[in-house]
Amino acid sequence: MATFTVKDFGTLENGQKIQHFTLDSGNGCQVGISEYGAIITSVKYPDSQGKIDEVSLGFDNLPDYVNSQGSFGTTVGRYANRIGGAQFKLNGQIFKLEPNEGKNQLHGGANGFGFQPFKGTEVAVDNAVAVKLERLSLDGEAGYPGDLIVAVTYVLSHDNILTITYDATSNQDTYINLTNHAYFNLDGIADDGSSSILDHEITLNGSFIVPIDAESIPTGEIRPVDNTPFDLRQPTLIRKGTENPDAEMRQVNNGYDINYIVGADDGKMKQHAYIKAAHSGRALKVVSTQPCVQFYSGPHLSKTTLQNGKIVNKYAGFCLEAQDYPNGPNIAHFPTKPLRANDQYTQVIEYHFITE
């Protein structure tokens, strides 16, 4: 039987109390959600032998999330990925954003959605458990125009599918690009710091990538993946790419940190990726309405202490961040469109937690 539980997660410096929710599918899968950052704090589900392990990289207390800079499990906004020069032009006006990666903005700035409190409430859903987290992002927050009302709804079904629905409206034209930044290791997190996803096998349905410059800002090129280490359309071990001497792979510390174009921003669900663990028999399927997905293989993870004091290093986890085009507002031929005043923004991401 599916269950929903709530506990206190701590108190912010301003005195605001934060709650933590656990969604249990009743079928071996449990997902933890925090009001702070609308964060996925935990994902547990069985391996092929029935053993339930933690498969997401996260923390077990609020201060670690407040002090972290790694976006572990966070809801990313207002605009996921990078905005070059930390500014964009909209309706003839230049909006200067909060830079937090050199002169650029990453994941909505240092005070983006992943570092803001939401208000969570349980939602009644047939054959599932759900929580809805809401907040008001005021006009000018991190430099973005418009009062934005945003809701993130997590629904965990009996068949272990976590559906994330992002809804938002603004009283001014603005840009928005929401995603989740969960890190996964489907073999579980090792006690000795040796966790690795290099022997996970990935299939990613992107025929094109969005190349980046030395500051990880898209150049504007849309490049086919044919005959490159970025071609993951057939099942491929992650290490096959990370061990490739390709210059662009070396540029991001010998790893994947690149945006793939999967399809149109048409509201239709499309399979972005399927990834299988090396040993446990676990798999993850990512399906989304979003046109792109950022694949990150964790090349910059280093000596990070997670839940239960476990330490992880380079390549300990991967992210598959379904999203709009990075730096989309600044590249005219990218199909990114502003959210118009009083229009509805809706995007959906599904994580299918599978035991093969």
Q: What distance in Å separates the CA atoms of residue 2 and residue 103, rounded to the nearest whole number?
A: 47
Taking CA atoms, 65 is separated from 75, 110, 114, 330, in Å, by 12, 13, 9, 31
Pick the catalytic residue from 181, 200, 272, 350: 181
| Catalytic residue list contains 352 | no
E-strand stretches of 223-339: 223-224, 236-237, 257-261, 270-276, 282-288, 292-296, 304-305, 311-312, 319-323
d(CA 99, CA 78): 13
Tokens of 23: 């969604």
**Tokens encoding 104:** 């650029």
Number of alpha carbons in the 13 Å side-chain half-sphere of residue 156: 27
Please name the helix (run of DSSP H) or strand (run of DSSP E) that holds residue 62, with its range, or none.
Answer: helix 62-67
- For 342: left if phi > 0, alpha if psi spans -120 to 50, otherwise beta; the answer is left
Q: Taking a C-beta distance cutoff of 8 angstroms, is the pair 301, 314 a contact? A: yes
Structure tokens at 206: 């992107």
The per-residue b/e assignment along 316-353, b for 16 or more CB within 10 angstroms, e otherwise, is bbbbbbbbbbbbbbbbeebebebbeeeeebebbbbbbb
Of 35, 54, 141, 321, which is the active-site residue? 321
**Is the torsion defined by CA of 264, 266, 268, 269 positive or negative?**
positive
- Give the Cα separation of 355 and 160 in Å (integer): 10
Other beta carbons less than 10 A from residue 50's beta carbon:
8
Q: Is residue 321 annotated as a catalytic residue, yes or no?
A: yes
Task: Evaluate whether 169 touches 157 at the Cβ level (below 8 Å).
Answer: no
Q: Which helix (H) or strand (E) holds 204?
A: strand 201-204
- Rounded CA-CA distance 66/115 in Å is 7
Residues recognised as catalytic? 181, 321
